[in-house]
Amino acid sequence: MDNIAGRKSHLTWAVNISVILMVLIWLIPTIGLLVSSFRDREQISETGWWLAPLPVEMTFRVRTSPEGAAQQNGLWVLEGNVFATPDMEEQLGDDDAELTRFGTRGVNPTEFAAGETAELRGGGTLTVNSDGSWRAESEEEFGPRGPTIYFAAEVPPQFTLTNYETVLTADGMDRAFINTLTVTVPATIIPILIAAFAAYALAWMEFPGRGLLIAAVVGLLVVPLQLALVPLLSLHTSVGIGQSFLGIWLAHTGFGLPLAIYLLRNYMVGLPRDIIESAKVDGATDFQVFTRIVLPLSFPALASFAIFQFLWTWNDLLVAKVFLPSDADSQVMTVKIADDLLGSRGGDWGILATAAFVSIAVPLLVFFTMQRYLVRGLLAGSVK
Amino acid sequence: MSPVLQGAATILIGVFGCIGYFYASNIILDRVLFPARGPKAGRNINRANQVRPWLFLFPAIFALGLYLVYPVVGSFYRSLFDRAGDDFIGLGNYIDLINEPTFRTAVFNNFLWILVVPAGSTFFGLAAAQLTDRLRWGNIAKSLIFMPMAISFVGASLIWKFVYANNADIGLINAAREALFGAEPLDVLQIPFWNNFFLMFILIWIQTGFAMVILSAALRGIPEETIEAAIIDGANPFQVFFRIKVPQIMGTIVVVWTTITILVLKVFDIVYTMTGGNFGTQILPSYMMGYMFRDNGRATAVAFVIMVIVLPVMVWNIVQARREQR
């Protein structure tokens, strides 16, 4: 097939460029989330994440105090540095900022360029230099408050872990993370066991109604989850499980089974007949054939279903919303983000980005390390 | 007991319970019920082998029956009762639904989703599969396009909030609009009708990788001779693709298409997190969540409508599976 495009270099170029474009569209939004999660929250609202490595021009306001005013040559003089206030020091850390413009009124905080002299409203003048130092002069004594200085400064880009600290400590994502893990692990392991036995029976045992059962499994693959919510929740409530972790484990087990049986059966049916039959001739029972031969040989299929089920339960919002109580003690991360953070932290982009990234980090890790099995499972499940 | 310990205990109980069940039931079958000894040994072995499949299948059939078959019946039954669940009102819930404008919007939007998302995902997936096929860095490209598969719908929605945000300093779309046209920021999720497509694109973004992986395998499975013959006959790359390759993988394309169609009918997360169903973006799954916990009669009625929409796909799937088995 190489010779088709190989001869036509312009076509190869077109192919390369379109793939690059597509990869960019597919990748950029996620990168944006990742970059935003490390940015200072003030900077997020000032410039887009794509400008993150560049200095950010931000406007500030500093109230000065008239203390320390001294009389020089008949003028009252007040001096200071706008960057030396506790607030600004906290914002800037060890970085140097450069003041570009300043102003004396909130309506026009960037009226004057650095180094210019501005008239103060209460009388007198104010000069602010680019290093932040300022000097106010007045013929009369300063009032109870010194002049308020508005200024814009080029602040160097700041990357912090503050968002992660906030999300993981103050916002309860740590608890939600553990809850998600608690839901996911049993909900992944238990269906595999049940499905493996069923798949073996459907693949290698002869009994009446086998074809019908396989068809039923295929049919159940597509039953919308929504149907199950109301009847099962009332069933759980009536047998005393109610909304609980046990309930959600059972629910995920039930909902994951059709795919598990389908995938595993498709795989097991393709195992070589000779091995299984010779084992049976040698006197192995079905149970032995299953545990000693079929199960070890089916490892790739088991792994790919495990990845599917893991991703599905980790990422699930619907089942968690219905089968788990909605209090903070049992919220999983998806519910936490969708119901809690989006409401209360709706405008706090740094926190949202961080929470989202915390919730997708584990699936991404699983994805990139186990991609091979995932692809194999997809292929076994869809094309024969 | 903390949920973590509880989880660990459940794993142990679940795993050993399952293994214990299968092991013990086999032993009982072979040693107690139908021992392979004595005068009836031969008949007993046969009988045991007739029963054994059902031992293997029992937990699965039980769970499937309880968690997937019973709900279909149970939901329909429940949907015939009123909100409190005491009074039988026949099709009252369905009639109320049809008279409600939001429901009609949701059905309309749902059909839009069913049309657009599978088509878009399959199209992009096929394009990606074909284009990356011969590239040296094709596998990396595939891996990156496939990546959104691992991301939750909630996470994906947040990711795209950073693209759609109504603020030129956060949203990429508004930043581009400002940079190119100097336009004022606008909330793309509030543009009537078209906002649906912005939401759909999120799901297309997630599902393209799935389509790509499967179609890419199908493309590789095409016999080389057919392509070589076409090239010798003077077909250009486009003709080779559309006339030779696509027809040969049509079956796989249909499978991908239906799989994504089914998925579309399950996904409520995107609409729920992005717009909450406002601004005319309601779809049935998220519309149903609005009634969940408030009016179970209505909620089950909506769920059953979804089931009715899925039904043709389900029948088709079963027919296909039966045909493959023969």
Verify that A94 and A217 share a domain, yes or no: no
pLDDT for A89: 72
Residues A108 and A225 grouped into a single domain: no
Name every residue whose Cβ is closer than 8 Å to that of residue A230 and which is 6 or more positions away in sequence: B74, B75, B78, B292, B296, B299, B300, B303
Name A368's Cβ contacts closer than 8 Å, sequence gap at least 6: B143, B147
Backbone φ and ψ of A271, nearest 5°: -70, 150
Q: Which residues of A touch B23 (CB under 8 A)?
A: 287
Task: Give yes or no for A286 touching B (CB within 8 A).
Answer: yes
Using CA atoms, how far apart are residues B276 and B287, in angstroms rounded to an integer? 9
pLDDT of residue A94: 64
Task: Quote the domain boundaries for residue A131.
Answer: 56-156
Are B321 and A202 inside 8 Å of each other by CB?
Answer: no
Residue A298 and residue A355 share a domain: yes
CA distance B7 to A186: 7
Residue where a domain terminates, one of A123, A156, A189? A156
Same domain, A28 and A61: no
Residues A324 and A368 placed together within one structural domain of the fold: yes
With tokens 């009536």, the residue in question is: A238
B259: Cα within 13 Å, side-chain hemisphere:
21
Instruction: Tell me, yes or no, whether A65 and A134 share the same domain.
Output: yes
Contacts of A229 in chain B (CB under 8 A): 71, 292, 299, 303
For residue A166, the 8-state DSSP code is I
CATH class name, domain B95-325: mainly alpha
Q: How many domains does chain A have?
A: 3
Q: Give B188→chain A minimum CA distance, Å.
A: 16
Residues of B in contact with A47 (CB under 8 A): 169
Residues A176 and A254 in one domain: yes
Last residue of a domain, one of A156, A189, A222: A156
State yes or no: ipTM above 0.90: no
Claim to verify: residue A16 and residue A129 sit in the same structural domain: no
Low-confidence ranges of chain B (pLDDT < 70): 1-3, 325-326
Picking from A24, A213, A227 by the largest number of B CB atoms within 10 A of its own CB, the best residue to mutate is A227
Query: CB–CB of A49 and B162 under 8 A?
Result: yes
pLDDT of residue B202: 93
Per-residue pLDDT of chain A (384 residues; tens, 9 = 90+): 444 444 566 778 888 898 999 999 899 888 888 888 888 877 777 777 887 777 777 777 887 777 777 777 778 888 888 777 777 776 766 667 778 788 877 777 777 887 788 887 777 788 888 787 888 888 777 777 777 888 887 777 777 888 888 888 877 888 888 888 888 988 898 899 899 989 999 988 888 888 889 888 888 888 888 888 888 988 988 888 888 888 898 899 999 999 899 888 888 888 888 888 898 888 888 888 888 888 898 888 898 889 889 999 999 998 998 898 888 788 888 888 888 888 777 678 888 888 888 889 999 999 888 888 888 877 776 544
> With an 8 Å Cβ cutoff, are A45 and B288 in contact?
no
Q: Kindly list the domain boundaries of chain B, sorted by start residue.
A: 3-79, 95-325
Nearest to B131 among A18, A352, A364 (CB): A18
Q: CA B118 to CA B120: how far, in whole Å? A: 6
For residues A46 and A84, membership in a common domain is answered with no
Same domain? A193 vs A151: no
Contacts of B152 in chain A (CB under 8 A): 314-317, 334, 359-360, 363
